[in-house]
Each structure stands twice: as C-alpha cells, then as structure tokens.
Amino acid sequence: MKKTLLVLLICLGNYSISLAQDSAFMEDALKLTRLSNDAVEASFGQLYAMIPAEKLEDFKEELKPVLDNYYTKMAKVSMEFYSHEDVKQLLDFYESDLGQKMLDAQAKLTVRSMEMAQPLSMELMPIVQKYTN
C-alpha cells in the first residue's frame, strides 16, 4: 500500500511539473504570437476607417476576444513547430533593437503589401481567366 501511494505521489508530482512547463511554454508562445502578429492589427486601418468614429471603441472592444482566440490558436500551432527554447530565443530577438526594428517594419510592410496586392490581383485576373476558360 505504501509503495502504491509513493508511486502515485511521484506520478502526480511529475504531472504537476509537466503542467507548469506546458503553461510557461504556452505563455511564451502566446507572447511571441502577439508580438509577431502586431502586423495583423496594423492591417486593420482600412477596416477601422469603415467604422463610424463614435462606434470605433465599441468595435475594437468586441474585436478583442476574437483576436485573443486567434492568438491562442496560433500560439498552439507555433508550439507544434518550435520548442520552448526556440520560443525563448525568438522572444529575446524580438526584445533586441533589431527585433524591435523588424516588428515596426513588419507592421508597415504588411499594410504596404496589402495596398500592393489589390492592383496585382487586378493585373493577374486576365492571365488567370485566359488559362481557366
């Protein structure tokens, strides 16, 4: 009986440690996802422009849980591709001067690329139609 209890306590202890490690990994992965997806929110400029000014804050408030859910899902996906150590190193990079510069540029690049994508799709449409008809 004592041996069974001892084995059970050891298993529970290991399980608790594993949960704590998974929780820390998830926290870091979520932080990384939020940092690297700031460009997503930067791309909402055109969307925000469509909302009347007096309703914009309410819209952003309603959008927040949707984005939080998206970030949580993306964090879980990133955990499939990166180890916790990888995520920690990426966070260190993003906290560096170059990493901050990259994050700032990434948001601006996303907005610019979206602006450029529309004319590109218009230019590509005749070519696509030519080969799909």
**pLDDT (tens digit per residue) in 54-109:** 999 999 999 899 999 999 999 999 999 999 999 999 999 999 999 999 888 887 88
pLDDT over 50 at 29, yes or no: yes
Q: Is the pTM of this model over 0.85?
A: no
The pLDDT value given to residue 55: 93
| Nearest CA-CA partner of 91 in 14, 34, 38 | 34
CA dist., res. 18 & res. 15, Å (int): 5
pLDDT band at 10 (very low <50, low <70, confident <90, very high): low
Q: How far is CA 3 from CA 10, 12, 16, 114, in A?
A: 11, 14, 20, 64
Tell me which amino acid residue 4 is: T
Q: What is the pLDDT of residue 108?
A: 81
The predicted-structure confidence for 100-124, as pLDDT tens digits, reads as follows 998 888 878 877 887 888 898 899 8
CB 75 within 8 A of CB 28: no
Residues 30-43: pLDDT tens digits?
999 888 776 677 66
